[in-house]
């Protein structure tokens, strides 16, 4: 349980708690913020918001209505940390920025890191973006303008230009004195980057190692020379994978000539990992980039294309059933048991597909031949198919007091689960080879194949076994 100093509506230190038992902002706290907004009570609002981390301010903004969000930003003025806007989903941030003037946005961005400023400015229209950038202080203006030159979802767009770099011939004492005296340093950093005369990174020194070394020690003597530097054009997923593999806190970013141009820190990478995982999950579910703050019309429009595709797969399965309508009329038990065959195949295929898509996304599959991955899923499908078939076959035989029906459905399940395992592993690999995102298309193809195969095999086996056609 999380406890916070409670706050009241009159500014005293007793009253509704800041957070509930789960650690989220309490409804009473949000209500207190709304009352302060209704009464234009800027002092009260500052007192309420002061204890909040930027991420919590982001949660607060999401809990408010559209007009309340912009009013909160304006009432707080210089006390509002624009870093909180990076915690909002893109659509909500865009709507909020649309209600603020370019002057207000520029003033707020003057004190945030360049990578956060680039993220926020990128959501503006081209006209407003140009106006906001022109109003920024020169140093921030240059950093933001250069950051916007790089494509979305690349290291160049993700990096911040504020960094701590020193030459290798400096000693520890001079470096520490420089950090104490220099005002134009990042708000937070974890290591010192060592650069040569051409500003190429040649090593890094962790801050803990720096502070534990004697002042006369040369930086070159304590530097780690494997910098794990990334290029501005590298995809953010590849950068995130490097952080994960080597347990990094930050990495230097270099241009095409190998010169140091920025740095990426782990807090930005956590956001990337979350965003990429969220994107893959949505694609597997057949939904777009919808948020809980979107309107009903927007959400419905993003989901309908995949539902329309599923209509086609549904008609394909229905057509297969139609081929055996006479068989079903003669044996009603087949109609009762058909959904079991299709659903079990679909579930087995989804399991194989999910594991394979994840392995592709994390590059785990790159170290193993594709045929080994497929073979493994086929063996798993055989084992699971045999176990499931035995259970369902026995249950069906007891239910209809007919051992033959149990044998038929058991055989159909083994075949359909085997096909599902093969398709679930093979289709994502093929799509990835064709440069098609497997998270988008695999599910639809899998559903169509398992449904059609399941119905066809079950009804065909039943018709042959019982001599119904």
Q: Write out pLDDT tens, residues 318-327.
A: 888 888 887 7
Quick check: is 212 in a domain? yes
pLDDT in tens, 108-119: 998 888 888 998
Q: Which structural domain range is residue 170 located in?
A: 165-268
Q: What is the pLDDT of residue 4?
A: 44
Higher pLDDT, 296 or 393: 393
Query: Residue 231, Cα to own-chain centre: how many angstroms?
Result: 22
Q: What is the pLDDT of residue 14?
A: 43
pLDDT tops 50 at residue 287: yes
Quick check: is 283 in a domain? no
Asked which of 222, 252, 268 is the last residue of a domain, the reply is 268
User: Of all residues in the chain, what percent carry a pLDDT higher than 70?
Assistant: 88
Quick check: is 285 in a domain? no
Q: Are 225 and 123 in contact (CB under 8 A)?
A: no
Q: Could you tell me the CATH number of the domain that includes residue 210? A: 3.10.580.10
Q: What is the pLDDT of residue 282?
A: 66
Q: Could you tell me the CATH number of the domain that includes residue 352? A: 1.10.357.20
Quick check: is 376 in a domain? yes
Q: What is the pLDDT of residue 349?
A: 85
Please compute the mean of the pLDDT values over residues 11-15 and round it to a whole number.
43
Residue 175: pLDDT band with limits 50, 70, 90 = very high
User: C-alpha distances in angstroms, 243 versus 121, 225, 249, 265, 442?
Assistant: 26, 17, 7, 9, 29
In b/e form, how buried is each residue of 408-440, taking b as 16+ CB within 10 angstroms?
Answer: bbbbbbbbbbbbbbbbbbbbbbebbeeeebbbb
pLDDT tops 70 at residue 434: yes
pLDDT tops 70 at residue 393: yes
Quick check: is 10 in a domain? no
Residues 85 and 31 in one domain: yes
Q: What is the pLDDT of residue 265?
A: 92
What's the domain count of the chain?
3
Residues 390 and 450 in one domain: yes
Residues 45 and 174 in one domain: no
Residues 306 and 401 in one domain: yes
Q: What is the pLDDT of residue 299?
A: 64
Q: Are 158 and 264 in contact (CB under 8 A)?
A: yes
Residues 377 and 452 in one domain: yes
Residues 69 and 170 in one domain: no
Higher pLDDT, 324 or 368: 324
pLDDT tops 50 at residue 13: no
Please compute the mean of the pLDDT values over residues 199-228 and round it to a whole number.
95
Higher pLDDT, 439 or 384: 384
Q: What is the pLDDT of residue 449?
A: 86
Residue 123 in 3-state DSSP? coil
One-character DSSP codes across 338-369: HHHHHHHHHHHHHHHHHHHHHHHHTTGGGGS-
Report d(CA 459, CA 334) in Å as an integer: 7
Q: What is the pLDDT of residue 123?
A: 86
Residues 146 and 175 in one domain: no
Residues 136 and 237 in one domain: no
pLDDT tops 50 at residue 391: yes
Q: Could you tell me the CATH number of the domain that includes residue 88? A: 1.25.60.10
Quick check: is 243 in a domain? yes
pLDDT tops 80 at residue 304: no
Higher pLDDT, 328 or 385: 385
Please compute the mean of the pLDDT values over residues 425-435 and round it to a whole number.
83
Please compute the mean of the pLDDT values over residues 26-41 and round it to a whole number.
92
Quick check: is 281 in a domain? no
Asked which of 125, 153, 181 is the last residue of a domain, the reply is 153
Residues 181 and 62 in one domain: no
Q: What is the pLDDT of residue 284?
A: 61
Residues 423 and 453 in one domain: yes
User: Of all residues in the chain, what percent carry a pLDDT higher than 90?
Assistant: 41
Residues 171 and 63 in one domain: no
Q: Among 52-56, 296-300, 387-391, 400-404, which is the least confidently predicted range?
A: 296-300
Asked which of 105, 120, 153 is the last residue of a domain, the reply is 153
- Quick one: tokens of 97? 């920025």
Quick check: is 16 in a domain? no
The overall average pLDDT reported for the chain is 85
Residues 366 and 262 in one domain: no
């Amino acid at each position: 349980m999380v406890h916070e100093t409670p706050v009241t509506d009159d500014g005293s230190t007793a009253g509704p708690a800041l957070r509930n038992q789960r650690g989220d902002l309490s409804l009473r706290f949000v209500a207190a913020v709304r009352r302060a907004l209704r009464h234009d009570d800027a002092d009260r609002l500052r007192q309420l918001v002061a204890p909040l981390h930027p991420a919590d301010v982001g949660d607060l903004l999401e809990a408010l209505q559209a007009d309340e969000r912009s009013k909160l930003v304006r009432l707080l003025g210089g006390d509002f940390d624009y870093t909180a806007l990076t915690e909002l989903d893109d659509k909500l941030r865009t709507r909020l920025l649309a209600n603020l003037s370019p002057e207000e946005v520029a003033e707020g961005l003057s004190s945030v890191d360049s990578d956060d400023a680039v993220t926020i400015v990128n959501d503006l229209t081209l006209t407003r973006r140009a106006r906001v950038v022109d109003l920024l202080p020169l140093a921030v203006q240059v950093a933001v303008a250069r950051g916007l030159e790089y494509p979305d979802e690349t290291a160049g767009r993700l990096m911040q230009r504020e960094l701590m770099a020193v030459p290798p011939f400096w000693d520890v004492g001079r470096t520490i004195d420089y950090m104490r005296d220099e005002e134009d340093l990042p708000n937070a950093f974890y290591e010192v980057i060592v650069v040569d005369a051409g500003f190429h990174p040649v090593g890094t020194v962790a801050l803990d190692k720096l502070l534990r070394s004697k002042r006369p020690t040369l930086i070159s003597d304590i530097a780690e020379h494997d910098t794990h530097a990334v290029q501005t054009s590298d995809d953010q997923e590849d950068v995130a994978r490097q952080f994960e593999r080597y347990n990094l806190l930050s990495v230097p970013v270099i241009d095409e000539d190998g010169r140091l141009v920025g740095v990426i820190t782990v807090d930005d990478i956590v956001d990337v990992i979350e965003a990429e995982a969220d994107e893959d999950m949505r694609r597997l579910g057949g939904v777009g980039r919808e948020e809980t703050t979107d309107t009903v019309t927007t959400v419905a429009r993003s989901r309908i294309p995949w539902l329309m595709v599923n209509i086609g797969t549904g008609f394909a399965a229905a057509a297969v059933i139609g081929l055996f309508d006479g068989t079903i009329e003669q044996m009603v038990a087949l109609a009762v048991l058909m959904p079991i065959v299709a659903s079990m195949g679909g579930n087995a295929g989804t399991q194989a597909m999910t594991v394979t898509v994840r392995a592709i996304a994390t590059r785990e599959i790159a170290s193993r031949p594709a045929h080994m991955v497929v073979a493994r899923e086929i063996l798993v499908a055989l084992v699971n198919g045999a176990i499931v078939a035995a259970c369902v076959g026995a249950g069906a035989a007891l239910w209809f007091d007919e051992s033959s029906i149990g044998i038929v459905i058991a055989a159909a399940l083994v075949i359909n689960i085997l096909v599902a395992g093969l398709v679930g592993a093979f289709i994502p690999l093929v799509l990835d080879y064709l440069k098609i995102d497997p998270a988008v298309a695999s599910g639809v193809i899998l559903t169509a194949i398992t449904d059609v195969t399941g119905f066809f095999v079950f009804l065909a086996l039943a018709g042959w076994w019982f001599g119904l056609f």
